Structure 1
């Protein structure tokens, strides 16, 4: 990834256009929209390579687009390292995406029964917390595989290396977010989040939970070329910037001049600003994404608890990075990052519905195995059916109470009762002992036991 081409100076283009042809200059300022004919909110870095509109140069086209955007700009009460404010546009595309989220992420329209049903809600919530923890860590370089990471968290096994520790920390951070989602944001909460995500992963543990200092030479660097992509604000400003960010997060409106600011825009802006300020020596990206989840949960977008934005970001990390750089190189226009994250949210929610649909069909297939079995029909709860479905695909697998407990977000006693019923009462699993703990093993004749 490289720094995008800097846009040309609009004032210079305007002056040159008026000197050449007044009528053409006025046409340039009235012809173009904030987006191109395909509805795309383009940065100069891409627009300069596209075919020019008839009669206009690329620079004039860009000037006309920027003039149209200037009429829509809304100023945020947050500034860059040069004390210049950030701003954004509410385009038709942004409005549509926000409206879609208001319908499908905060209300009850077309929500899945699986995540509104108290019996299954905890299972899918645990799954989403684990998935976001893993993917957010992998974005920052963690290399542990998905299955190994899931096993570590569900069995509460001690992390064996830095990658596993990052994932375990992220899982704890997501749990912490749920605990404080009804609280106002304070610098202490931000520090605690960063301390959690970096615990036992830093060369110097004293760097956890504190702001970087002027002694810490921090830059955002492209791994391939080693080019510096972003130099954050001076360390001496960070305390005041964190305070300002918390005030922004807690305000009712604060879209600038006490105007209304949509809660999703506020949440995405928090994500952007924490990453822009880069207030810590490490863990800034993970902390920024966790703050986004806090803001969405605080404003009632409960469905977002069940999705992983990092999984979608991980599919195209360069686009994620470009969204930051486009903002920084074009008049602090956060619209680029806003549109990127709104698309990520949309895709995350669609992925959730697809996942739930698949799991629902799989469970239905498993339940059909019991239709003609009087011994099992109507005797199994959702968790036990899910375990049986897993057992059919994993012969000789050994289950433990703690893993079943952590997979479904239930108490130890409830998890133990589930497994004892499957072994002692229904004779589907074989109960054995390993040291002080019981193992519940899938027998070789598991399918026959179900069909009896």
Structure 2
């Protein structure tokens, strides 16, 4: 990825242009799509303006209402952000889609079925977050590992296992204030057994551990702050994370996005910074009562267009630390992730209704057993184990065992052995049994 050209600073371009250029900037009122200079320089300026005047006009329009935050770059210059209409619109959709309960499916709100969707989202985020960091395990193999409870076989599977465990832990600590110790704990969890130097887990990088962020060709994209500054910077980040009544007001979702950027910018660890940054983002959203984020995967969206994420990060760094570029991208990622969940729930709602029609005459089957039957109908060669059923529904081992053995008794499943483990498959007479129960 090519490093974007650094944008001309407002004060520099203001000093270089004649007074009549500033007059043009004051009178400019066309729509601002918040493009970076690196993109704007290739576009034709509005009639009567050159590109420098156009950039001055846009920068001038972005100044009112700009909010500064405690984060500083390597040179001690602060970061700030604006809230253009695009972000305000996204925030409204985030508030409606992830904070309230209007329009949320009974499948998620119902305690009997919500765990199934929670487990699915934890798995998806664990897998895609790890794949963003280089894990090469396929989704199918990773889900089999998590459902069966088997130990990870390699570093990629270990990364996914760690992320899965960490995401579950975030649910448990969501009401706690963020501290450096808690961030160290999250880092230890996401990197357990994956670092070249195991002693680097859960501690800040040292002065002799020189870290840079490079592209595939080795060009330096980002140079983090010096290691000596990290203890103070980490404390400041935690103070920002816990602030609830600061002035000026910062929307909770904006605060969560900034925390994601902050940790990624500081790169305080030798490895695992991306996974820790996303974990911190999830903590912040859940801490602010965006409860639906227990079911949402942002990494799935990020993985589909990783270049957009890196570009938003670099645009912020190369235009006077303007976080608006990153917030524009991240708010769109969140909106898409929320929409993906709603689409998935709609699909599952339809499947549930279809299965309900089929299952309505079957006697005494609970929602977990109905999920197994529905899955067996859609995937005739699927295999079930007590462990996979237990992990899919977050239930006790004996409960999972009873569920499956009861389905064997009813003729729905057939039981066999693979080594010492019991394995269950759809009965060859499954469809016949279901057809007979319709009448």
Inter-CA distance 397–102: structure 2 relative to 1 (3 Å threshold): closer
Alignment coverage as a number of residue pairs: 436
Say which SS state the counterpart of residue 423 (structure 2) adopts: strand
In 2, Cα distance between the equivalents of 1:117 and 1:442?
27
Partner of 2:377: 392
- Is 1:409 the counterpart of 2:398 in the alignment? no
Partner of 1:5: 5
Say which SS state the counterpart of residue 105 (structure 1) adopts: helix
Partner of 2:45: 52
Partner of 2:335: 346
Check whether the contact 1:122–1:409 (CA below 8 A) recurs between aligned residues. Answer: yes
In 2, Cα distance between the equivalents of 1:391 and 1:318?
39
In 1, Cα distance between the equivalents of 2:231 and 2:16?
44
In 1, Cα distance between the equivalents of 2:371 and 2:44?
55
In 1, Cα distance between the equivalents of 2:99 and 2:339?
15
- Is 1:264 the counterpart of 2:264 in the alignment? no
Bigger mean CA deviation after superposition, 282-291 or 50-59: 50-59
In 2, Cα distance between the equivalents of 1:174 and 1:380?
31
Superposed displacement of residue 433, structure 1: 4.3
Check whether the contact 1:222–1:228 (CA below 8 A) recurs between aligned residues. Answer: yes
Partner of 1:131: 124
- 1:233-382, aligned counterparts within 5 Å? 233-254=225-246, 258-371=247-360, 374=361, 376=362, 379-382=364-367
Q: Which runs of 5+ in 1 are unaligned?
A: none
Partner of 1:192: 185
Partner of 1:96: 89
Check whether the contact 1:307–1:348 (CA below 8 A) recurs between aligned residues. Answer: yes
Check whether the contact 2:416–2:424 (CA below 8 A) recurs between aligned residues. Answer: yes
Superposed displacement of residue 389, structure 1: 2.0
In 2, Cα distance between the equivalents of 1:202 and 1:77?
31
Superposed displacement of residue 207, structure 1: 1.2
CA deviations 1:76-112 (Å, max 9, x no partner) are 1221221111100011221111122112211112112
In 2, Cα distance between the equivalents of 1:8 and 1:313?
29
TM-score normalised by L of structure 1 = 0.93
Superposed displacement of residue 439, structure 1: 2.5
- Is 1:87 the counterpart of 2:87 in the alignment? no
In 1, Cα distance between the equivalents of 2:342 and 2:268?
36
Say which SS state the counterpart of residue 330 (structure 2) adopts: helix
Partner of 2:23: 26
In 2, Cα distance between the equivalents of 1:127 and 1:398?
17
Check whether the contact 2:411–2:430 (CA below 8 A) recurs between aligned residues. Answer: no
- Is 1:440 the counterpart of 2:424 in the alignment? yes
Check whether the contact 1:193–1:287 (CA below 8 A) recurs between aligned residues. Answer: yes
Partner of 2:408: 423
Bigger mean CA deviation after superposition, 92-101 or 130-139: 92-101
